Amino acid sequence: MKDVMTPAPTNLRQILLAATSRLREAGIDAPQREARLLAAHAAGTDLAGLLRIDTLPAPAIDAFTHALARRLRHEPMAYITGRAGFWSLDLEVSPHTLIPRADTETLIEAVLDHLPDHDAPLRVLDIGTGTGCLMLAVLAEYPRAWAIGTDLAPQAAGLAARNAIRNGLGARCATLCCNWADALTEPFDLVLSNPPYIPHGDLAGLMPDVVNHEPARALDGGQDGLVAYRALADVLPDLLAPGGIAVLELGIGQGDSVSGLMRAAGLEVAEIRPDLGGIGRALVVKK
């Protein structure tokens, strides 16, 4: 790899200028900010702390060079740092799970509106929990709730369990490695899911950060993008307690199709809530 540290191998300003140029050439959005994030990670600080640094010691330079090489290959920043924020949470992430996104917070906003009693002892199920972001955000808002997160990948189930402990919520949740909710028979007051919903033929057109690095099993929704929703429609009527709700993430333009599947399963569609970009993102259904 070309040495990005010349002519001043420890001077942070020169390091950032050179890295910004290389990131821009690689087609990385906001290259200056990305360079600073990489430098802060390598130096073991945050962006504010980086302002107080003029030079990087040799170990930090080595860490920065390695991290920069990964980002130039379009590996997501969250996988490089191993962390992502979601709602009020600080989460560990890994290539075994999707990276939590701001659009997914729309589901939590919908939950708060449809279940306004924050003292309710909710029974929560998160199907395909991944990092655990959805169930843990709900537990953070409802101090008497408890949750179960399921995931087909044992690495993801383990990651969600670590994130529960990391955020002080481990005593109120458990994770299971299973297919959908095969191991569960008790009803829940709230079921959450961010299922794979990208039509198979559209995967190749995704950003390289996504298609080349995030797990295909969490993205690929089958030929029409609706395979997971059909599976959810089969199980939700039995999983929801009377008066319970399910909140599901939607892909672009899937509101009508998924609503039809849920109505055919005997569920009431209560809302399709848009994200900040105006895209119908959270489908709320009731038993």
Distance (Å, whole) CA 195 – CA 246: 13
In order of 6, 24, 45, 47, 232, the CA distances from 41 in angstroms are 21, 19, 6, 9, 39
Radius of gyration of the chain (CA): 21
State pTM to two decimals: 0.89
- The tens-digit pLDDT sequence of the chain (287 residues) is 444 444 445 788 999 999 999 999 999 999 999 999 999 999 999 899 888 988 888 899 999 999 999 999 999 999 999 999 999 999 999 999 999 999 999 999 999 999 999 999 999 999 999 999 999 999 999 999 999 999 999 999 999 999 999 999 999 999 999 988 888 888 999 999 999 999 999 999 888 899 889 999 999 899 999 999 999 999 999 999 999 999 999 999 999 999 999 999 999 999 999 999 999 999 999 98
* Residue reference for tokens 């949740």: 173
DSSP for 136-200 reads HHHHHH-TT-EEEEEESSHHHHHHHHHHHHHTT-GGGEEEEESSTTTT--S-EEEEEE----B-G
